[in-house]
Structure 1
Amino acid sequence: MPERLRHWLLLLLFIPVLGWTAEIDVANVQLSPGDDGYVLSADFRFELNPRLEEAVSKGVVLYFVLDYEMSKARWYWLDEKLVSRSLTYSLSYHALTRQYRLSTGMGGLHQSFPTLTEALAVLARLRNWVVIEKGDKTVRTGELYLAALRLRLDITQLPRPFQISALGNKDWSLASDWKTWQAALPALPSPTASAEVK
Protein backbone atom coordinates (compact mmCIF):
# COMPACT_ATOMS: atom_id res chain seq x y z
CA MET A 1 0.00 0.00 0.00
CA PRO A 2 1.47 3.40 -0.95
CA GLU A 3 2.52 5.57 2.00
CA ARG A 4 0.24 8.45 1.01
CA LEU A 5 -2.81 6.16 0.83
CA ARG A 6 -1.98 4.64 4.21
CA HIS A 7 -1.74 8.14 5.67
CA TRP A 8 -5.23 9.10 4.42
CA LEU A 9 -6.78 5.84 5.64
CA LEU A 10 -5.35 6.40 9.11
CA LEU A 11 -6.65 9.96 9.08
CA LEU A 12 -10.14 8.76 8.14
CA LEU A 13 -10.06 6.26 10.98
CA PHE A 14 -9.21 8.94 13.54
CA ILE A 15 -11.60 11.65 12.32
CA PRO A 16 -14.60 10.20 14.22
CA VAL A 17 -12.52 9.89 17.39
CA LEU A 18 -11.23 13.45 17.09
CA GLY A 19 -14.79 14.60 16.46
CA TRP A 20 -15.99 13.31 19.82
CA THR A 21 -15.63 16.65 21.51
CA ALA A 22 -17.82 17.80 24.36
CA GLU A 23 -21.43 18.27 23.31
CA ILE A 24 -22.33 20.30 26.41
CA ASP A 25 -20.81 23.72 27.12
CA VAL A 26 -20.50 24.87 30.74
CA ALA A 27 -20.68 28.62 31.40
CA ASN A 28 -21.29 31.23 34.11
CA VAL A 29 -20.14 29.01 36.98
CA GLN A 30 -20.49 30.67 40.39
CA LEU A 31 -19.73 29.23 43.80
CA SER A 32 -21.09 31.55 46.47
CA PRO A 33 -22.01 31.54 50.17
CA GLY A 34 -25.63 30.88 51.10
CA ASP A 35 -27.70 30.28 54.22
CA ASP A 36 -27.18 26.50 54.14
CA GLY A 37 -23.55 26.49 52.96
CA TYR A 38 -21.83 27.10 49.65
CA VAL A 39 -24.12 26.98 46.64
CA LEU A 40 -23.30 26.43 42.99
CA SER A 41 -24.94 27.99 39.94
CA ALA A 42 -24.09 27.41 36.27
CA ASP A 43 -25.52 27.42 32.75
CA PHE A 44 -25.26 24.58 30.23
CA ARG A 45 -25.65 24.84 26.46
CA PHE A 46 -26.68 21.71 24.58
CA GLU A 47 -29.34 20.11 22.39
CA LEU A 48 -30.67 16.58 22.17
CA ASN A 49 -29.97 14.90 18.87
CA PRO A 50 -32.89 13.29 16.95
CA ARG A 51 -32.10 9.83 18.39
CA LEU A 52 -32.38 11.04 21.98
CA GLU A 53 -35.49 13.11 21.25
CA GLU A 54 -37.15 10.05 19.73
CA ALA A 55 -36.17 7.87 22.68
CA VAL A 56 -37.73 10.32 25.18
CA SER A 57 -40.92 10.69 23.13
CA LYS A 58 -41.30 6.89 23.11
CA GLY A 59 -41.10 6.62 26.88
CA VAL A 60 -37.39 6.11 27.57
CA VAL A 61 -36.28 8.00 30.67
CA LEU A 62 -33.00 9.90 30.22
CA TYR A 63 -30.83 10.45 33.28
CA PHE A 64 -28.47 13.42 33.46
CA VAL A 65 -25.87 13.58 36.23
CA LEU A 66 -24.16 16.68 37.58
CA ASP A 67 -20.79 15.96 39.15
CA TYR A 68 -18.98 18.45 41.37
CA GLU A 69 -15.56 17.98 42.93
CA MET A 70 -13.24 20.13 44.99
CA SER A 71 -9.63 19.25 45.71
CA LYS A 72 -6.48 20.76 47.19
CA ALA A 73 -3.10 20.56 45.48
CA ARG A 74 -0.33 18.66 47.27
CA TRP A 75 3.26 18.97 46.08
CA TYR A 76 4.29 15.58 47.51
CA TRP A 77 1.41 13.42 46.27
CA LEU A 78 -1.76 13.41 44.20
CA ASP A 79 -4.26 16.20 44.81
CA GLU A 80 -6.45 15.62 47.86
CA LYS A 81 -10.13 15.30 46.93
CA LEU A 82 -12.15 17.05 49.64
CA VAL A 83 -15.64 17.32 48.20
CA SER A 84 -17.48 15.03 45.78
CA ARG A 85 -21.16 15.59 45.00
CA SER A 86 -23.56 14.27 42.37
CA LEU A 87 -27.08 15.32 41.44
CA THR A 88 -29.29 13.28 39.10
CA TYR A 89 -32.03 14.64 36.85
CA SER A 90 -34.51 12.38 35.07
CA LEU A 91 -36.22 13.53 31.89
CA SER A 92 -39.31 11.65 30.74
CA TYR A 93 -42.42 11.99 28.61
CA HIS A 94 -45.91 10.99 29.73
CA ALA A 95 -48.11 10.16 26.75
CA LEU A 96 -51.33 10.29 28.79
CA THR A 97 -50.85 13.93 29.82
CA ARG A 98 -48.62 14.84 26.83
CA GLN A 99 -46.23 16.46 29.26
CA TYR A 100 -42.48 16.26 29.70
CA ARG A 101 -41.39 15.74 33.29
CA LEU A 102 -38.09 16.80 34.79
CA SER A 103 -37.30 15.39 38.24
CA THR A 104 -34.30 16.13 40.44
CA GLY A 105 -32.63 14.35 43.30
CA MET A 106 -33.20 17.44 45.47
CA GLY A 107 -36.09 16.22 47.59
CA GLY A 108 -37.71 14.35 44.71
CA LEU A 109 -38.96 17.59 43.15
CA HIS A 110 -40.43 17.46 39.67
CA GLN A 111 -41.86 19.88 37.14
CA SER A 112 -44.01 19.27 34.08
CA PHE A 113 -43.68 21.07 30.73
CA PRO A 114 -45.76 21.11 27.54
CA THR A 115 -42.64 20.99 25.33
CA LEU A 116 -39.24 19.35 25.39
CA THR A 117 -37.60 22.73 24.75
CA GLU A 118 -39.02 24.14 27.98
CA ALA A 119 -37.90 21.11 30.00
CA LEU A 120 -34.36 21.34 28.61
CA ALA A 121 -34.23 25.07 29.36
CA VAL A 122 -34.76 24.33 33.06
CA LEU A 123 -32.24 21.47 32.98
CA ALA A 124 -29.72 23.87 31.45
CA ARG A 125 -29.97 26.33 34.38
CA LEU A 126 -28.44 25.11 37.62
CA ARG A 127 -29.28 27.40 40.53
CA ASN A 128 -28.32 27.29 44.21
CA TRP A 129 -27.21 23.67 44.49
CA VAL A 130 -25.69 23.21 47.97
CA VAL A 131 -22.34 21.51 47.35
CA ILE A 132 -20.68 22.27 50.70
CA GLU A 133 -22.92 22.22 53.73
CA LYS A 134 -22.56 24.68 56.57
CA GLY A 135 -20.30 23.25 59.25
CA ASP A 136 -18.32 21.07 56.82
CA LYS A 137 -14.81 20.90 58.31
CA THR A 138 -13.09 19.54 55.19
CA VAL A 139 -12.71 23.03 53.70
CA ARG A 140 -11.73 26.38 55.21
CA THR A 141 -12.48 29.93 54.24
CA GLY A 142 -9.70 31.91 52.59
CA GLU A 143 -7.86 28.88 51.21
CA LEU A 144 -7.51 28.23 47.48
CA TYR A 145 -9.05 25.05 46.04
CA LEU A 146 -9.46 23.48 42.62
CA ALA A 147 -13.15 23.09 41.75
CA ALA A 148 -14.56 21.02 38.87
CA LEU A 149 -18.03 20.61 37.39
CA ARG A 150 -19.52 18.55 34.56
CA LEU A 151 -22.91 17.45 33.21
CA ARG A 152 -23.35 14.10 31.46
CA LEU A 153 -25.99 11.74 30.14
CA ASP A 154 -25.71 8.57 32.24
CA ILE A 155 -26.26 5.59 29.93
CA THR A 156 -25.76 3.13 32.82
CA GLN A 157 -29.26 4.05 34.06
CA LEU A 158 -30.92 3.30 30.72
CA PRO A 159 -32.96 0.09 30.27
CA ARG A 160 -30.66 -2.87 29.55
CA PRO A 161 -31.33 -3.13 25.78
CA PHE A 162 -30.58 0.59 25.35
CA GLN A 163 -27.37 0.30 27.39
CA ILE A 164 -26.06 -2.32 24.97
CA SER A 165 -26.91 -0.30 21.84
CA ALA A 166 -25.60 2.92 23.43
CA LEU A 167 -22.09 1.55 24.04
CA GLY A 168 -19.72 3.21 21.59
CA ASN A 169 -22.65 4.88 19.79
CA LYS A 170 -22.07 8.61 19.32
CA ASP A 171 -25.83 9.27 19.24
CA TRP A 172 -25.95 8.35 22.93
CA SER A 173 -22.84 10.31 23.86
CA LEU A 174 -23.76 13.59 25.52
CA ALA A 175 -21.43 15.13 28.08
CA SER A 176 -19.37 18.17 28.94
CA ASP A 177 -15.68 18.28 29.68
CA TRP A 178 -14.78 18.98 33.28
CA LYS A 179 -15.03 22.73 33.83
CA THR A 180 -12.26 23.56 36.32
CA TRP A 181 -11.45 26.77 38.14
CA GLN A 182 -9.65 27.98 41.26
CA ALA A 183 -12.01 28.80 44.08
CA ALA A 184 -11.33 30.71 47.30
CA LEU A 185 -14.17 30.28 49.77
CA PRO A 186 -15.46 33.54 51.31
CA ALA A 187 -16.87 33.50 54.83
CA LEU A 188 -20.46 32.32 55.18
CA PRO A 189 -23.02 34.86 56.40
CA SER A 190 -23.49 34.77 60.16
CA PRO A 191 -26.99 33.96 61.52
CA THR A 192 -27.27 37.49 62.97
CA ALA A 193 -26.38 39.08 59.62
CA SER A 194 -29.00 36.94 57.83
CA ALA A 195 -31.63 37.94 60.38
CA GLU A 196 -30.80 41.63 59.95
CA VAL A 197 -31.16 41.39 56.15
CA LYS A 198 -34.62 39.86 56.53
Structure 2
Amino acid sequence: MTIRFLRLLACQLLLLFACAQAQAADGVEITRAHIEATEDGYRLDARYAFDLSQDLEHAISRGVALYFTTEIELTRPRWWWYDEKAVTSRQTLRISYNELHRQYNVAVVGSVQQPFQTLDEALANVRRPGRWQIAPKGALKPGEVYNVTVRMFMDRQLLLKPLQVNALNDAGWQLSSNKKTFLYKAE
Protein backbone atom coordinates (compact mmCIF):
# COMPACT_ATOMS: atom_id res chain seq x y z
CA MET A 1 0.00 0.00 0.00
CA THR A 2 2.71 2.51 0.91
CA ILE A 3 4.90 1.59 -2.08
CA ARG A 4 1.94 2.22 -4.40
CA PHE A 5 1.28 5.53 -2.71
CA LEU A 6 4.94 6.58 -3.02
CA ARG A 7 4.99 5.64 -6.72
CA LEU A 8 1.81 7.62 -7.33
CA LEU A 9 3.23 10.60 -5.45
CA ALA A 10 6.50 10.41 -7.41
CA CYS A 11 4.58 10.30 -10.71
CA GLN A 12 2.51 13.32 -9.75
CA LEU A 13 5.61 15.27 -8.73
CA LEU A 14 7.33 14.42 -12.02
CA LEU A 15 4.24 15.49 -13.95
CA LEU A 16 4.05 18.75 -11.97
CA PHE A 17 7.75 19.43 -12.61
CA ALA A 18 7.40 18.68 -16.34
CA CYS A 19 4.41 21.05 -16.62
CA ALA A 20 6.31 23.79 -14.80
CA GLN A 21 9.30 23.34 -17.13
CA ALA A 22 7.09 23.46 -20.24
CA GLN A 23 5.33 26.59 -19.01
CA ALA A 24 8.62 28.31 -18.18
CA ALA A 25 10.02 27.50 -21.64
CA ASP A 26 7.08 29.23 -23.34
CA GLY A 27 7.63 32.61 -21.74
CA VAL A 28 9.94 35.56 -22.19
CA GLU A 29 12.89 35.89 -19.85
CA ILE A 30 14.35 39.34 -19.26
CA THR A 31 18.08 38.62 -19.16
CA ARG A 32 19.20 42.24 -18.87
CA ALA A 33 17.50 45.49 -17.91
CA HIS A 34 19.61 48.53 -17.18
CA ILE A 35 18.92 52.29 -17.24
CA GLU A 36 21.60 54.60 -18.58
CA ALA A 37 21.73 58.38 -18.11
CA THR A 38 22.72 60.20 -21.32
CA GLU A 39 22.94 63.83 -22.35
CA ASP A 40 19.41 63.85 -23.76
CA GLY A 41 17.70 61.71 -21.13
CA TYR A 42 17.39 58.21 -19.70
CA ARG A 43 17.59 55.09 -21.88
CA LEU A 44 16.66 51.46 -21.28
CA ASP A 45 19.14 48.80 -22.30
CA ALA A 46 17.29 45.47 -22.26
CA ARG A 47 17.84 41.92 -23.51
CA TYR A 48 15.27 39.14 -23.78
CA ALA A 49 15.38 35.38 -24.24
CA PHE A 50 12.45 33.61 -25.90
CA ASP A 51 11.52 31.29 -28.73
CA LEU A 52 8.48 31.48 -30.96
CA SER A 53 6.05 28.61 -30.98
CA GLN A 54 5.42 26.77 -34.25
CA ASP A 55 2.08 28.55 -34.53
CA LEU A 56 3.75 31.96 -34.35
CA GLU A 57 6.48 31.01 -36.84
CA HIS A 58 3.82 29.72 -39.22
CA ALA A 59 1.81 32.93 -38.82
CA ILE A 60 4.83 35.13 -39.61
CA SER A 61 5.69 33.05 -42.68
CA ARG A 62 2.12 33.62 -43.91
CA GLY A 63 2.46 37.40 -43.62
CA VAL A 64 0.93 38.04 -40.19
CA ALA A 65 2.72 40.85 -38.35
CA LEU A 66 3.51 40.21 -34.68
CA TYR A 67 3.99 42.98 -32.14
CA PHE A 68 6.28 42.84 -29.11
CA THR A 69 5.80 45.54 -26.48
CA THR A 70 8.13 46.53 -23.66
CA GLU A 71 6.66 48.50 -20.77
CA ILE A 72 8.70 50.29 -18.13
CA GLU A 73 7.57 52.18 -15.05
CA LEU A 74 9.68 54.15 -12.58
CA THR A 75 8.10 55.02 -9.24
CA ARG A 76 9.53 56.96 -6.32
CA PRO A 77 8.55 55.57 -2.92
CA ARG A 78 6.96 58.00 -0.47
CA TRP A 79 6.22 57.17 3.14
CA TRP A 80 3.29 59.58 3.57
CA TRP A 81 1.35 58.81 0.39
CA TYR A 82 1.16 56.50 -2.58
CA ASP A 83 4.33 56.01 -4.61
CA GLU A 84 4.88 58.72 -7.19
CA LYS A 85 4.85 57.51 -10.81
CA ALA A 86 7.77 59.38 -12.31
CA VAL A 87 7.99 57.66 -15.72
CA THR A 88 5.72 55.32 -17.65
CA SER A 89 6.85 54.39 -21.14
CA ARG A 90 6.32 51.68 -23.72
CA GLN A 91 7.86 50.69 -27.02
CA THR A 92 6.43 48.28 -29.57
CA LEU A 93 8.44 46.38 -32.18
CA ARG A 94 6.71 44.85 -35.21
CA ILE A 95 8.10 41.80 -36.98
CA SER A 96 6.66 40.75 -40.33
CA TYR A 97 7.51 38.80 -43.49
CA ASN A 98 7.31 40.20 -47.01
CA GLU A 99 6.83 37.33 -49.47
CA LEU A 100 7.50 39.49 -52.52
CA HIS A 101 11.00 40.43 -51.30
CA ARG A 102 11.46 37.24 -49.29
CA GLN A 103 12.69 39.11 -46.25
CA TYR A 104 11.69 39.71 -42.66
CA ASN A 105 11.16 43.26 -41.45
CA VAL A 106 11.53 44.62 -37.92
CA ALA A 107 10.46 48.14 -37.01
CA VAL A 108 9.67 50.25 -34.02
CA VAL A 109 5.99 51.07 -34.60
CA GLY A 110 5.83 54.39 -36.43
CA SER A 111 9.46 54.19 -37.59
CA VAL A 112 11.53 52.93 -40.51
CA GLN A 113 11.78 49.16 -40.80
CA GLN A 114 14.96 47.10 -41.10
CA PRO A 115 15.09 44.13 -43.50
CA PHE A 116 16.59 40.75 -42.54
CA GLN A 117 17.15 37.63 -44.62
CA THR A 118 16.20 35.07 -41.95
CA LEU A 119 13.74 34.85 -39.10
CA ASP A 120 16.60 34.23 -36.65
CA GLU A 121 18.27 37.52 -37.63
CA ALA A 122 14.99 39.39 -37.24
CA LEU A 123 14.29 37.79 -33.86
CA ALA A 124 17.82 38.71 -32.70
CA ASN A 125 16.88 42.34 -33.30
CA VAL A 126 13.70 41.91 -31.22
CA ARG A 127 15.59 40.10 -28.44
CA ARG A 128 18.26 42.82 -28.34
CA PRO A 129 16.50 46.07 -29.22
CA GLY A 130 18.36 49.35 -29.38
CA ARG A 131 18.52 51.51 -26.28
CA TRP A 132 15.42 53.67 -26.37
CA GLN A 133 14.77 56.87 -24.52
CA ILE A 134 12.27 56.35 -21.72
CA ALA A 135 12.39 59.86 -20.25
CA PRO A 136 13.91 63.28 -20.92
CA LYS A 137 16.81 64.48 -18.79
CA GLY A 138 14.78 66.47 -16.20
CA ALA A 139 12.16 63.77 -15.57
CA LEU A 140 13.99 62.21 -12.60
CA LYS A 141 15.37 63.92 -9.50
CA PRO A 142 19.15 63.37 -9.22
CA GLY A 143 20.14 61.29 -6.19
CA GLU A 144 16.63 59.85 -5.68
CA VAL A 145 16.11 56.09 -5.73
CA TYR A 146 13.37 54.76 -8.01
CA ASN A 147 11.67 51.38 -8.21
CA VAL A 148 11.84 50.15 -11.80
CA THR A 149 9.45 47.60 -13.28
CA VAL A 150 10.04 46.18 -16.77
CA ARG A 151 7.81 43.79 -18.69
CA MET A 152 7.85 42.44 -22.26
CA PHE A 153 5.02 40.66 -24.05
CA MET A 154 3.56 39.84 -27.44
CA ASP A 155 0.83 42.45 -27.84
CA ARG A 156 -2.20 40.53 -29.08
CA GLN A 157 -4.35 43.68 -29.09
CA LEU A 158 -2.46 44.92 -32.17
CA LEU A 159 -3.13 41.78 -34.22
CA LEU A 160 -5.72 41.79 -36.98
CA LYS A 161 -9.21 41.51 -35.46
CA PRO A 162 -9.98 37.96 -36.73
CA LEU A 163 -6.71 36.72 -35.21
CA GLN A 164 -7.32 38.32 -31.82
CA VAL A 165 -10.06 35.81 -30.99
CA ASN A 166 -7.79 32.89 -31.80
CA ALA A 167 -4.84 34.47 -29.97
CA LEU A 168 -6.85 34.91 -26.77
CA ASN A 169 -7.81 31.24 -26.66
CA ASP A 170 -4.65 29.56 -27.98
CA ALA A 171 -1.70 29.06 -25.61
CA GLY A 172 0.69 29.07 -28.59
CA TRP A 173 -0.14 32.75 -29.14
CA GLN A 174 0.53 33.83 -25.55
CA LEU A 175 4.07 35.03 -24.98
CA SER A 176 5.02 37.30 -22.07
CA SER A 177 7.54 37.83 -19.30
CA ASN A 178 7.16 38.20 -15.60
CA LYS A 179 7.74 41.70 -14.28
CA LYS A 180 11.39 42.38 -13.52
CA THR A 181 11.93 44.89 -10.72
CA PHE A 182 15.10 46.62 -9.60
CA LEU A 183 16.25 49.88 -8.01
CA TYR A 184 17.79 52.80 -9.91
CA LYS A 185 19.50 55.83 -8.39
CA ALA A 186 19.02 58.79 -10.72
CA GLU A 187 22.09 60.65 -11.92
State the TM-score, normalizing by the size of structure 1: 0.80
Distance 2:98 2:160 in 1: 17
- Tell me which of 52, 56, 64 is aligned to 1:52: 56
Deviations 1:144-171 (A, max 9, x none): 1101111110111111111111113210
Q: Measure how far apart 1:135 and its partner are.
A: 2.8
Q: Deviations over 1:43-95 (max 9, x none)?
A: 10011110000001001110111101101123344322221001111110000
**Structure 1 residues 88, 77: CA separation in 2 closer, same or farther (over 3 Å shift)?**
same
Pick the aligned partner of 1:110 from 113, 132, 143.
Answer: 113
What is the aligned length?
A: 175
Could you tell me which residue of structure 1 aligns to residue 44 of structure 2?
40
SS at match of 2:78: coil
Counterpart residue type for residue 83 of structure 2:
D
Structure 2, unmatched stretches of 5+, are: 6-14
Amino acid in the other structure paired with 1:30: H
> Where does residue 12 of structure 2 map in the other structure?
none
- Opposite residue 55 of structure 1, the aligned amino acid is A
Give the match for residue 140 of structure 1.
141
In 2, are the aligned partners of 1:65 and 1:151 still within 8 Å (CA)?
yes
The 1-side partners of 2:103 and 2:111 are apart by 18
Instruction: Using the TM superposition, name which of 119-128 and 88-97 deviates more.
Output: 119-128
Q: What whole-Å deviation, never above 9, does each CA across 1:116-157 have from its counterpart, x for those lacking one? A: 000000111133211111233xx2011111011111101111
Residue pair 1:85, 1:131 contacting (<8 A) in 2 also? yes
The answer to whether the aligner puts 1:69 opposite 2:73 as a matched pair is: yes
Q: Unpaired runs of 5+ in structure 1?
A: 5-11, 187-198
Amino acid at match of 2:54: P
Distance 1:17 1:78 in 2: 35
CA contact (8 A) 2:103 2:117 kept: yes
Query: 1: distance between equivalents of 2:51 and 2:108?
Result: 19
Residue of structure 1 in register with 2:172 after alignment: 171
Q: How many Å apart are 1:30 and its aligned residue?
A: 1.5
> What TM-score, normalized by structure 2, do the two folds share?
0.84
Aligned to 1:28: 32
- Give the conservation status (yes or no) of the 8 Å contact 1:40–1:126: no
> Once structures 1 and 2 are overlaid, which stretch shifts more, 173-182 or 126-135?
126-135
Aligned-pair identity (%):
35
Matches of 2:181 and 2:66, distance apart in 1 = 26
Report if aligned partners of 1:68, 1:150 keep a CA contact under 8 Å in 2.
yes
CA distance in 2, matches of 1:28, 1:158: 27
Q: Structure 1 CA distance, aligned partners of 2:36 and 2:159?
A: 34
Give 4+ residue runs of structure 1 displaced > 2 Å after superposition. 15-22, 74-80
